């Protein structure tokens, strides 16, 4: 019987990019990929685990797979909560994120009857020229680095993705050029934090954008999420780089809270005033800027006043897009050990509802 593989991707654009490489490598190796989960005899779940509800949903979906099918769980979840996977679901392989072309050998071993566990070291950085099967033929998601420089107390992704490892300018430029030559007209440059790009190579995001701007051709670049404090370090040169016609005037700048005490407890290294200044400068240069931000509701120590401070901040800066998340203590995070100032789950739910209503109102203005 011919082996047929179904791949199910979850999560951020960086994880989707990993999934595209998994697909491309398996196709190049001669495996048959199917878009039908029913037809497949091996299913790869390329998972996300940034939030508790996402983890719960993925595990529930894995439990629905018939026992005769082989299952490989990839992405962040095996690294973040392997113990839960081992307790609750049947699987034949568990592998960490950024697996690259190693997926071919892993699938060979699983199909041969082995149980494979390779969670990785958090130092992986697959070759950027590996084959990939793009989800959209005219959009290429290009990882510019893996890992980050942060230590956010709520974030479990750092444990899965590790410390900063950047690709060289040349590697990224070559990838973009190759994709452009095959019909791509929009590039999403992505990572856990694009503003951290190149700090391990003594270059930065502005340098990279300048290099990409020099590529001849008509295409657009969408810059992924940037941490505010690292934007401040390169703000002047970054503003200049964003002036290129090739770059979408879109900035994803997660604030997470509108309260300085909460930010400090989150290990976010900027103040609300500094965040406002970044927004003001970008909007001053680019009046048509689209601003996206993220907010976590109910982090331990978020008093009613702290929550109101976040509401007031959103009313002041009026982001175009606000991603509101309820706080969930995640495995392997510092926030998991916080015992004081815990916000009641019902209160978190109520605050989230109130904030979501505000964001709907802001987006319609």
Nearest alpha carbon to residue 275 among 234, 323, 313:
313
212 contacts: CB under 8 Å, gap ≥ 6: 172, 173, 176, 187, 189, 221, 246
Q: Does the pLDDT at position 51 exceed 80? A: yes
Average pLDDT, the chain: 96
Topology given in CATH for the domain delimited by 139-364: pyruvate-formate lyase- activating enzyme (3.80.30)
Average pLDDT (215-243) is: 98
Q: Residues 38, 43, 44, 46: is their CA dihedral positive or negative?
A: positive
At 364 the pLDDT is 82
Query: What does the pLDDT look like over 135-161, one tens digit per residue?
Result: 999 999 999 999 999 999 999 999 999
Q: Write the class of the CATH domain 4-118.
A: alpha beta
Helix 272-285 with 235-242: angle, nearest 10 deg: 30
Q: Given pLDDT bands bounded at 50, 70 and 90, which one contains residue 307?
A: very high
Helices (H), the chain: 13-28, 52-63, 77-80, 82-88, 102-111, 157-161, 169-181, 205-213, 228-233, 235-242, 260-265, 272-285, 304-317, 345-364
17 to 36, 44, 175, 202: CA distances (angstroms):
20, 15, 13, 25
At 123 the pLDDT is 84
Q: Given pLDDT bands bounded at 50, 70 and 90, which one contains residue 286?
A: very high
Tell me whether strands 321-326 and 250-252 are parallel, antiparallel or unpaired: unpaired
Q: Given pLDDT bands bounded at 50, 70 and 90, which one contains residue 363?
A: confident
Tell me whether strands 165-166 and 145-146 are parallel, antiparallel or unpaired: antiparallel
Average pLDDT (178-203) is: 98
Q: Token pair for residue 36? A: 């039908």
Query: What does the pLDDT look like over 96-133, one tens digit per residue?
Result: 998 999 999 999 999 999 999 999 888 889 999 999 99
Nearest alpha carbon to residue 152 among 70, 47, 262:
262
At 120 the pLDDT is 82
CB atoms within 10 A of CB 59: 19
Q: Does the pLDDT at position 66 exceed 90? A: yes
3-state secondary structure of 205: helix
Q: Does the pLDDT at position 334 exceed 90? A: yes
Q: Does the pLDDT at position 94 exceed 80? A: yes
Q: Given pLDDT bands bounded at 50, 70 and 90, which one contains residue 266?
A: very high
Helices (H), 29-75: 52-63
At 93 the pLDDT is 97
Q: Does the pLDDT at position 180 exceed 80? A: yes
Residue 273 CA to residue 277 CA, distance in Å, equals 6
Residue 281 CA to residue 251 CA, distance in Å, equals 12
% of residues, the chain, pLDDT over 90: 97
Q: Can you list the positions of beta strands (E) in 83-154? A: 93-95, 116-118, 139-143, 145-146
CB atoms within 10 A of CB 53: 10
Q: Does the pLDDT at position 54 exceed 90? A: yes
At 365 the pLDDT is 78
Domain ranges of the chain: 4-118, 139-364
Cα 88 to chain center, whole Å? 25
At 2 the pLDDT is 85
Cα 2 to chain center, whole Å? 34
Q: Does the pLDDT at position 162 exceed 80? A: yes
Query: What does the pLDDT look like over 10-43, one tens digit per residue?
Result: 999 999 999 999 999 999 999 999 999 999 999 9
Contact, 297 vs 325, CB < 8 A? yes
């Amino acid at each position: 019987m011919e082996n047929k593989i179904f791949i199910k991707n979850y999560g951020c654009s960086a994880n989707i990019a990993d999934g595209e490489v998994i697909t491309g490598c398996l196709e190049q190796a001669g495996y048959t990929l199917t878009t039908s989960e029913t037809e497949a005899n091996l299913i790869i779940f390329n998972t996300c685990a940034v939030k508790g509800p996402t983890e719960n949903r993925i595990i529930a979906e894995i439990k629905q797979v018939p026992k005769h099918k082989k299952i490989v769980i990839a992405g962040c979840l095996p690294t973040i909560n392997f113990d839960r996977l081992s307790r609750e679901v049947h699987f034949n392989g568990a592998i960490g994120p950024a697996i690259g072309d190693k997926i071919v050998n892993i699938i060979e071993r699983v199909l041969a009857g082995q149980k494979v566990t390779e969670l990785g070291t958090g130092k992986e950085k697959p070759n950027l020229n590996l084959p990939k099967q793009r989800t959209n033929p005219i959009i290429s998601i290009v990882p510019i680095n893996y890992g980050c420089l942060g230590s956010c107390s709520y974030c479990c992704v750092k444990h899965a993705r590790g410390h900063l490892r950047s690709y060289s300018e040349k590697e990224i430029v070559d990838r973009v050029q190759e994709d452009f030559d095959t019909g791509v007209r929009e590039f999403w440059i992505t990572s856990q934090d694009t503003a951290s790009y190149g700090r391990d190579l003594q270059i930065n995001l502005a340098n990279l954008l300048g290099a990409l701007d020099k590529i001849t051709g008509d295409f657009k670049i969408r810059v992924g999420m940037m941490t505010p404090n690292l934007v401040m370090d390169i703000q002047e040169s970054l503003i200049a780089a964003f002036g290129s016609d090739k770059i979408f005037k879109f900035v994803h700048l997660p604030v997470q809270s509108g309260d300085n005490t909460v930010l400090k407890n989150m290990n976010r290294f900027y103040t609300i005033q500094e965040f406002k200044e970044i927004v003001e400068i970008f909007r001053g240069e680019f009046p048509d800027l689209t601003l996206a931000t993220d907010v976590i509701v109910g982090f331990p120590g978020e008093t009613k006043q702290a929550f109101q401070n976040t509401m007031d901040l959103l009313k002041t800066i009026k982001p175009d897009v606000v991603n509101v998340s309820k706080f969930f203590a995640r495995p392997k995070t510092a926030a998991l050990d916080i015992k004081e100032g815990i916000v009641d789950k019902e209160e978190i739910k109520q605050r989230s509802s109130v904030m979501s209503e505000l964001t709907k109102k802001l987006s319609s203005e």
